[in-house]
Amino acid sequence: MAVVKADGYGHGMMPAARAALAGGATWLGVADMSEGLALRRAGITAPVLCLMAVGEPADAIAGGIDLTAGSAAFAAAVAAVAQRAGVPARLQLKADTGLGRGGATRADWPALVDAALAAQARGLVRVTGLWSHFACADMPGHPSVAAQLAAFADAVALAEKAGVTPEIRHIANTAAGLTVPESRLDLVRFGGAVYGLSTLPGGAPGWLRPAMTLRARLALVKRVPPGSGVSYGHRYVTARETRLGLVPLGYADGVPRAATGLPLVSARGRRWPVAGTVCMDQFVVDFGDEPVSEGEEVVLFGPGDDGEATAQEWGEALATISYDIATGIGGRVARVYR
Ligand SMILES: *Cc1c(COP(=O)(O)O)cnc(C)c1O
């Protein structure tokens, strides 16, 4: 499964979905139903699993999207909607094996299985999958990984004994798919890996190439004297006469305001610090005596081939993860696909 939620992790959902299917993915994963419906409207007919119980089930059922139930109440609600619609719903049951987020706890699982099987017996739903999600798959060796795998095996055994015949059983995301082979089961829900990213320490293995490069062209270049305050609050003041370049990307485009001062911008084969406060639409770089010119390209992050920062490095520098950086890149930034 290629997970294409959150606009394909910021890369663009439709191009990501099409590329993943062309590359051999057999399922697509989305967070809410509206994302799944957007895939259907675009003509994508591949199986789609909606990972959260958020949206309008009637439309999703009509669109043949697999819904996820984490409670008996939601399974019953889906059955009621399917009855009104006259179309059986495809339903996957989610077990909370230790993440403590969505899904039915061990105590609530039998009731969920019973509700789903009752609806299936009435022809209102087809239980197509059983799944769960890890809490600490990106912490290699964390004891909760084995514990969750065992708890999921128990949940699957209980459901199958009760009569569920799932098409797929799945628990692994990128980190587990890459590092815990026994977690791969029938399908791996690869999100970050599809885009060359991972939440594992140090990021994705080298053979996974980050897909996204964020570039901009300097909108203005100017010489300024020593002692010039730069950007809001004058948090940066030039030490000597220098050349400033204006990068037309700001926090509204996903350049975190906390990047102020960090050496994350690449131009002319080296790194340059963000000079002063990152604004909504722009920020400034101090290029010293480097004769950069207006219209010249700078790179904020990319695959790292030419020493430019990666989304992984941005995440590490800003106390977050690469996914947070990539998904944050705003809609104003034109996506170009190669
Ligand atoms: C987002 C998500 C994934 C994908 O996770 P990655 O770490 O990006 O591979 C898988 N499963 C669920 C339930 C998710 O919400």
Per-residue pLDDT at 238? 98
Residue 43: other Cβ atoms inside 10 A: 8
- Separate counts of helices (H) and strands (E) for the chain: 10, 17
Per-residue pLDDT at 263? 97
- Mean pLDDT, to the nearest integer, of 51-69? 96
The atom number, within ligand 1, closest to the CA of 198 reads 7
Nearest to 125 by CA among 103, 157, 93, 94: 93
Give tens-digit pLDDT for 208-231: 999 999 999 999 999 999 999 999
Residue 252 in contact with residue 246, Cβ under 8 Å? no
Residue 102 in contact with residue 142, Cβ under 8 Å? no
Nearest to 112 by CA among 70, 169, 160, 51: 70
Residue 49: other Cβ atoms inside 10 A: 24
Residue 299 in contact with residue 214, Cβ under 8 Å? yes
- Mean pLDDT, to the nearest integer, of 241-250? 98
Nearest to 236 by CA among 225, 224, 246, 227: 227
Is the Cβ atom of 173 under 6 angstroms away from ligand 1?
yes
Per-residue pLDDT at 18? 98
Going by pLDDT thresholds of 50, 70 and 90, the confidence category of residue 23 is very high
Residue 305: other Cβ atoms inside 10 A: 10
Residue 313: other Cβ atoms inside 10 A: 17
pLDDT above 90: percentage of residues in the chain: 99
The atom number, within ligand 1, closest to the CA of 177 reads 9
Residue 155 CB burial class (10 angstroms; 0-12, 13-18, ≥19): buried
- Mean pLDDT, to the nearest integer, of 66-85? 98
Mean per-residue pLDDT of the chain? 98
Per-residue pLDDT at 42? 98
Residue whose CA lies nearest to ligand 1 atom number 1:
191
Per-residue pLDDT at 121? 98
Q: Compute, in angstroms, the gap from residue 133 CA to the centroid of ligand 1.
A: 8
Answer yes or no: 232 catalytic: yes
Is the Cβ atom of 3 under 6 angstroms away from ligand 1?
yes
Going by pLDDT thresholds of 50, 70 and 90, the confidence category of residue 300 is very high
Going by pLDDT thresholds of 50, 70 and 90, the confidence category of residue 272 is very high
The atom number, within ligand 1, closest to the CA of 189 reads 10
Going by pLDDT thresholds of 50, 70 and 90, the confidence category of residue 66 is very high
Is the Cβ atom of 174 under 6 angstroms away from ligand 1?
yes
Q: Compute, in angstroms, the gap from residue 29 CA to the centroid of ligand 1.
A: 8
Going by pLDDT thresholds of 50, 70 and 90, the confidence category of residue 48 is very high
According to DSSP, the β-strands at 67-69 and 89-94 are: parallel
Per-residue pLDDT at 228? 98
Going by pLDDT thresholds of 50, 70 and 90, the confidence category of residue 194 is very high
Per-residue pLDDT at 110? 98
User: Which amino acid makes up residue 217?
Assistant: R
Separation CA 203–CA 222 (nearest Å): 37
Please compute, for residue 80, the number of CA atoms within 13 A of its CA located in the half-sphere on the CB side: 7
Is the Cβ atom of 48 under 6 angstroms away from ligand 1?
no
- The structural domains of the chain, ordered by start, are 2-194 (3.20.20.10), 214-327 (2.40.37.10)
Residue 197: other Cβ atoms inside 10 A: 27
- Mean pLDDT, to the nearest integer, of 49-65? 96
**Which one from 161, 232, 236, 337 is the annotated catalytic residue?**
232
DSSP conformation class of 31: S
Going by pLDDT thresholds of 50, 70 and 90, the confidence category of residue 253 is very high
Give tens-digit pLDDT for 279-295: 999 999 999 999 999 99
Per-residue pLDDT at 163? 98
